[in-house]
């Protein structure tokens, strides 16, 4: 059985938890100032990465508190859990975000190399 480390209760079986989706989604500071497209993206568009993902979890059949977790979506391995409002300590997040940045920057570097040629 998969054990999930609740920051308040320690390791508990996965059947006590409920996933609340992607973590660290900030509400727009002025919702009335953004257009419908950006508002709908805030409400409905979520990442679905293959690899490390920051998620919100609720210890529904325990302390009842919400917390954040870094989970590898490929192996279903929990890398780290941490309280709401805290930042992840894990270096794998940095590696993941650096990897994403590298992928996003690929087309730009290709364009620059073509411009130089």
User: What gap in Å lies between CA 31 and CA 22, rounded to an integer?
Assistant: 20
Which CB sits closer to Zn ion, 47 or 61?
Answer: 61
Nearer to Zn ion, 49 or 62 (CB): 62
**Nearer to Zn ion (CB atom), residue 59 or residue 96:** 59
| Minimal distance, residue 107 CB to Zn ion, in Å | 44
Residues that bind Zn ion (CB under 5 A): 6, 8-9, 59, 62-63
Task: Tell me the torsion sign for CA atoms 73, 93, 46, 81.
Answer: positive
**Helix, strand or coil, per DSSP, at residue 56:** strand
């Amino acid at each position: 059985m998969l054990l999930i480390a609740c920051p308040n209760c320690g390791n508990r079986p996965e059947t006590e938890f409920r996933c609340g989706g992607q973590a660290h989604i900030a509400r727009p500071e002025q919702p009335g100032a953004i257009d419908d497209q950006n508002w709908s993206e805030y409400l409905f568009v979520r990442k679905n990465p293959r690899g490390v993902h920051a998620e919100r979890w609720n210890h529904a059949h325990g302390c009842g508190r919400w917390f954040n977790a870094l989970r590898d979506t490929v192996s279903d391995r929990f890398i780290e859990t941490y309280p709401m409002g805290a930042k992840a300590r894990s270096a794998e997040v940095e590696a993941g975000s650096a990897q994403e940045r590298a992928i996003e920057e690929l087309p730009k570097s290709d364009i620059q190399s073509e411009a130089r040629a």
